[in-house]
Amino acid sequence: MQLKTRMHQHLEAGQTAGGFGFALNSPAAVEFLLQNAKPDFIVIDAQHAPITPADAAHLLRAAQSTDPLATPIVRVPCHDVYWIQQMLDLGYMGLVVPLCESAEQARALAQATYYPPQGLRSIAGSIRANMYDQYIEQVNEHVLLLPQIESRDGLENVEDIVAVEGVSGVLLGPADLSFDCGWRDHASQLWSYPPFVEAVSRIRTACDSHGKLLATMVAGEAVFHAQQAGTRFICTSVDTGALRTSIATETNAIMQRLHGGAGD
């Protein structure tokens, strides 16, 4: 198991790390993507997809066996300490945690993520991650903890959240934040909408002041808008979205040519 990966190398060099998300619960999809591309990290989405801890183990094996230099990250469905511990015990090296709205919540997440003395993560000798040399001694230094800022309350408390020891940075959730703040009607132009731009600037300033990472999950042209806004960790697509795009473009174009240019 590689504790230091391409993601760490790019971030340490001051570059933007790019990754890919998975929601299909398909080890084959993970293997295929990692055989044909070299993302700096992957994010398994156990929040919005029906992915159990057992499923997450199979997805992790697929990732590690195909590309050990892509950091495996999981988005857990909640703040539950047992979900967090099981994902880390499997060997995931990063956590995205939804809907963090206070420093108190962030501190609880950090306590669950790190081994003592930095946190209160339980130590067990039989976990999968313990198969890796020096795991317990080194994991605190390399694990990534990214609470999500995706609500008005989270935005109002972002300075306190990023100041929490053990929080690596925060992951901006553009869609949920825009819904909660009443900006839904501006979704198509969100990255140029002044209130959203101001919110992103506030989050970035908070991160920069504490030497923390600003992250997000977006796709298409929004990737480059996010990068220009100072985001240094970007999950650029998800398997379901990539499949939908492929079907809507390449497959439909082929069908139209097969049918002699007919539109249906």
48 is catalytic: yes
The Cα–Cα gap between 199 and 196 comes to: 5
For residue 164, the surrounding DSSP H or E stretch is none
| 8 Å CB contact between 196 and 208 | no
Q: Which of 48, 142, 186, 210 is catalytic?
A: 48
The Cα–Cα gap between 61 and 174 comes to: 30
The conformation of residue 133, written as its DSSP 8-state character, comes to T
Owner of token pair 């069908």? 255
Owner of token pair 């298409």? 220
Question: Where would I find the beta strands (DSSP E) of 87-182?
Answer: 94-97, 144-149, 169-172
Q: How far is CA 14 from the centre of its chain?
A: 19
Q: How far is CA 78 from the centre of its chain?
A: 14
Cis peptide bond N-terminal to 117, omega within 30: yes
| 8 Å CB contact between 120 and 140 | no
Total Cβ atoms within 10 A of residue 197: 14
Mind telling me the catalytic residues?
Answer: 48
